[in-house]
Amino acid sequence: MKRITLLLVVFFLGGLIAQQKAEPPLHVVTYVDVYPNFAADTAKLLQQFAADNRKDPGFVRFDALRDVARANHFAIVEVWQSKQAYDAHLAAPHSKAFRDQLQQGLGSPFDERLYNSLP
């Protein structure tokens, strides 16, 4: 009986340690600057991209923002359950299509930055 109790304790402790080592959520901030004549199309593209992202596994949050002073400058703020979920999202057909469609109007390079929360 003592061995069974000891095995159960070890099993539960192992589960707790595994949970503590879980990967933290990934925050992604992307800056998108397009030529002014592409601003309206980019806004529509971002709205569709947001809707598509909400269906992806591991999705937590997506915000598309427009600069107050420059209507052709956008920021995308995303949160994913893990880096693996984000990588899978990037490989999805809708993500590839979004980036391809965005390329023609980019006024500066796509600026994507990955972050984890501070402990």
Give strand ranges (E) for 1-119: 26-33, 59-66, 73-80, 111-115
pLDDT tens digits, 66-114 = 999 999 999 999 999 999 999 999 999 999 999 999 999 999 998 999 9
> What gap in Å lies between CA 83 and CA 13, rounded to an integer?
26
Question: What is the number of domains present in the chain?
Answer: 1
pLDDT in tens, 49-65: 999 999 999 999 999 99
16 part of a folded domain:
no
Residue 41's domain spans which residues? 23-115
- CA-to-CA distance for 112 and 96, rounded, in angstroms? 15
pTM of the model: 0.79
Task: Specify if 14 maps to a domain.
Answer: no
Which CATH number goes with the domain that contains 49?
3.30.70.100
